[in-house]
């Protein structure tokens, strides 16, 4: 009886029980039952705005410069999607997302200095629901706001509210409607945009440095690289188009010359690091020493080795110099050390390093960088050359890591690759020595029998921390390096 009358009973009860919820006796029931109107509830999307902190990207790094943003507020990101690129005093790093969600806030503008451990962006975490469910919830809430709010004193008797999208099914004389089905195609997600504008603000540090030198805006340059990345060729093409535009307008009257205003801009991360380092170096009393080194026999050996070699495999003089310095440091280990004056300023300590981690200064598009060749004492000259080529390529591309730039125990500055014969190199703390290499040149000299001969000569300029290194030790170390290079065959015999 109950089963056969359940449909009619439910309709009857729904129409009458809503009126003050009075007890109703239905035919076929044993006694009165109080029936009250109930509605299904729905739970909205769980949205948690989570601040994304800038993690530690390297030892001793407390701040870094925001080079470019890959997202903007409102853009949807997924885990491991790139958010921005930052530049420290050592290397550039691409920051990726750890969550799925929507970017709500950027805490820094481009070129601002971001602090490590502080919020970088706010991400609205929405991983608990799918995009289709989120669209349905949003659609339902919009429909609900369009309708007039019901009077609380007179409940509506349309029926039960069912479904997460607020679809109302009225239980009355009309047949029950079928539940609303999900759309055949899920609504499109919010834009997951890596490119914030018409043109992508994507470029390597070398390209960005070139753009700044030419006073151009990266947004004005059409990028033809992957994902709209701006290449060097794009800069040249953009400059050429500007010249053509200027040439077309050459017939126009030339306006009066405008006075060029002064510009004030903050230091780049690399410049800021150099500022701090050189300020600390001012406290070091430098002992300076120069000597001429004959490269004649070394260049003869190099030419023999480089014969029939591809350009990438040819040896320069720099790998030989690096190895010669390492052999000299084995004889004079005090020059391969760090001076610790911070642990206890009243009792300085010197830490003699077992490994020869030699830094080689490189002039990169973004500034002076000093990548480190580790364990030179275990390298061959050929492997040193390969490591120099690898580090130079990373420096030009702005891809050196913090590990590539830290831990040097001695430094070489090959200033001769740019120009100049002699230099007074500045010691990089906490190291106690540095060698500056001038440009090699051909000079006239006297032979064994007094005849005039041609020699290839280079000036080596040494600086040592005179607080712990005396002049005699620095001169002996420099003499050992000179003999290793001038008698290169003897040096090769000593290699491991």
Question: Which residues have a catalytic role annotated?
Answer: 466, 470
Cβ atoms of residues 118 and 176 within 8 Å? no
Cβ atoms of residues 457 and 468 within 8 Å? no
Residue 90, preceding peptide bond in cis (omega within 30° of 0): no
Cβ atoms of residues 425 and 461 within 8 Å? yes
3-state helix, strand, coil split of the chain in percent (to 5) is: 30, 20, 45
CA nearest neighbour of 324 among 470, 479, 438:
479
Residue 316 CA to residue 145 CA, distance in Å, equals 76
Q: Which stretch of DSSP H or E encloses residue 496?
A: none
Q: What is the DSSP string of 27-84?
A: TT-SS-B--------------EEEEEE----STT--EEEEEEES--TT-EE-TT-EEE
Tell me which DSSP letter residue 261 carries.
Answer: P
Q: Are strands 168-169 and 48-53 parallel, antiparallel or unpaired?
A: unpaired
CA nearest neighbour of 101 among 132, 76, 133:
76
Q: Which stretch of DSSP H or E encloses residue 90?
A: none
Tell me which DSSP letter residue 291 carries.
Answer: E
Taking each helix axis from N to C end, the angle separating 296-306 and 471-486, rounded to the nearest 10 degrees, works out to 40
Between the alpha carbon of residue 64 and those of residues 55, 57, 394, 399, 406, the distances in Å are: 11, 9, 19, 15, 16
């Amino acid at each position: 009886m109950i089963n056969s009358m359940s449909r009619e009973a439910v309709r009857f009860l729904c129409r009458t029980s809503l009126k003050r919820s009075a007890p109703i006796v239905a035919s076929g029931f044993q006694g009165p039952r109080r029936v009250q109107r109930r509605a299904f509830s729905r739970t909205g999307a769980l949205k948690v705005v989570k601040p994304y902190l800038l993690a530690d990207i390297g030892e001793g790094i407390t701040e870094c410069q925001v080079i470019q943003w890959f997202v903007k507020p409102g853009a949807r990101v997924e885990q491991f999607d790139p958010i921005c690129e930052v530049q420290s005093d050592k290397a550039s790093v691409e920051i990726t997302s750890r969550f799925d969600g929507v970017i709500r806030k950027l805490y820094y503008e481009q070129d601002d200095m971001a602090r490590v451990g502080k919020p970088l962006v706010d991400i609205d975490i929405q991983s608990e629901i799918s995009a289709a469910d989120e669209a349905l919830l949003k659609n339902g809430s919009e429909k609900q706001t369009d309708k007039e709010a019901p009077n609380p004193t007179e409940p509506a008797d349309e029926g039960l509210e069912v479904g997460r999208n607020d679809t109302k099914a009225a239980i009355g004389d009309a047949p029950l409607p079928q539940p609303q089905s999900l759309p055949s195609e899920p609504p499109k997600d919010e834009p997951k945009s890596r490119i914030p504008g018409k043109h992508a603000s994507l470029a390597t540090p070398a390209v960005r440095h070139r753009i700044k030198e030419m006073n151009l805006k990266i947004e004005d340059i059409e990028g033809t690289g992957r994902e709209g990345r701006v290449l060097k060729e794009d800069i040249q093409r953009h400059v050429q188009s500007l010249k053509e535009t200027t040439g077309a307008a050459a017939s126009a009257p030339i306006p009066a010359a405008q006075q060029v205003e002064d510009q004030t801009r903050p230091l780049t991360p690399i410049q800021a690091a150099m500022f701090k380092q050189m300020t600390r170096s001012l406290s070091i009393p430098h002992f300076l020493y120069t000597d001429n080194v004959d490269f004649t026999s070394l260049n003869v050996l190099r030419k023999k080795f480089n014969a029939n070699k591809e350009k990438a495999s040819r040896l320069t003089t720099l790998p030989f110099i690096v190895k010669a310095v390492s052999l000299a440091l084995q004889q004079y280990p005090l020059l391969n050390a760090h001076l610790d004056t911070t642990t206890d300023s009243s009792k300085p300590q010197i830490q003699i390093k077992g490994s020869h981690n030699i830094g080689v200064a490189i002039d990169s598009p973004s500034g002076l960088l000093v990548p480190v060749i580790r364990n030179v004492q275990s390298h061959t000259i050929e492997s040193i050359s390969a490591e120099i080529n690898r580090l130079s390529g990373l420096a030009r591309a702005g891809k050196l890591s913090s590990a590539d730039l830290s831990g040097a125990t001695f430094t070489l500055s090959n200033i001769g690759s740019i120009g100049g014969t002699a230099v007074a190199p500045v010691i990089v703390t906490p190291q106690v020595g540095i060698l500056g290499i001038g440009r090699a040149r051909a000079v006239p000299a006297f032979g064994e029998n007094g005849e005039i001969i041609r020699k290839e000569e280079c000036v080596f300029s040494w600086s040592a921390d005179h607080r712990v290194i005396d002049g005699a030790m620095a001169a002996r170390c420099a003499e050992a390096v000179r003999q290793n290079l001038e008698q290169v065959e003897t040096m090769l015999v000593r290699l491991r």
